[in-house]
Structure 1
């Protein structure tokens, strides 16, 4: 039974919806229906959302594959927490009017660590 991946998939889905709502609200305020209309804050919000959409699905797929291959639940939680924390830190650091570079860097480092560890785990379990 799959019990760990749904937790992190759900939490990251909530994060993604929050990032999406942020974009929608900013578009409404600026009266921009497509693109960013030259608004830097809207562009940052869009990229925070886009970055989540680019990395999270791939990482969650790797997490699911590791779970299906029988990886230990504590390890799956570690991977999921690294991913979730990485996505939250990156989104917060990136999406602010005054970005926090350190949070963006830590966020992507945690995300990459989760992806690479999950990939190596899957290779190890598959061989």
Structure 2
């Protein structure tokens, strides 16, 4: 097993997740400029949604990326890291899309949360597996 391949797999999902966070940040900035709101949401629903989409991503992505990085460090195969990373990334994109479109329940938000939780469970299980010598 090539340890570099595991690191490359984790790096792919970290890089894509950072791009997602950047896009969500830009969407917040666009709403702030459009509505001339510097702090808070100014009572503007669209700005509040953009802030929450970014905020929610920042609440979930860092821990998941830490888990993927640790999996790479312990030598988990890329064929384990890639599906988890893909599930996480798709889940976060779906959730952000759903939240940016509606504050109510929507299938993209629900599917995004489910995919994120699945990636969390898979990461936790894999880390526990690799933690036992």
Same fold per superposition (TM over 0.5): yes
Q: Say which of 112, 121, 126 aligns to 1:121.
A: 126
Residues paired across the two proteins, number: 127
- Residue of structure 2 equivalent to 1:76: 81
* CA deviation after TM superposition for structure 1 residue 97, in Å: 5.0
- Residue of structure 2 equivalent to 1:42: 47
Distance 1:100 1:93, change over 3 A: farther
* CA deviation after TM superposition for structure 1 residue 3, in Å: 1.0
**Corresponding residue SS for 2:8:** coil
Taking only aligned residues, the RMSD between alpha carbons, in angstroms, comes to 1.2
Length-normalised TM-score, structure 2: 0.91
* CA deviation after TM superposition for structure 1 residue 69, in Å: 1.1
Length-normalised TM-score, structure 1: 0.95
5+ residue gaps, structure 1, are: none
* CA deviation after TM superposition for structure 1 residue 25, in Å: 0.5
Matched, 1:55 2:60: yes
**Corresponding residue SS for 1:89:** helix
| Residues 1-127 of structure 1 aligned to structure 2 (within 5 Å) | 1=4, 2-96=7-101, 101-127=106-132
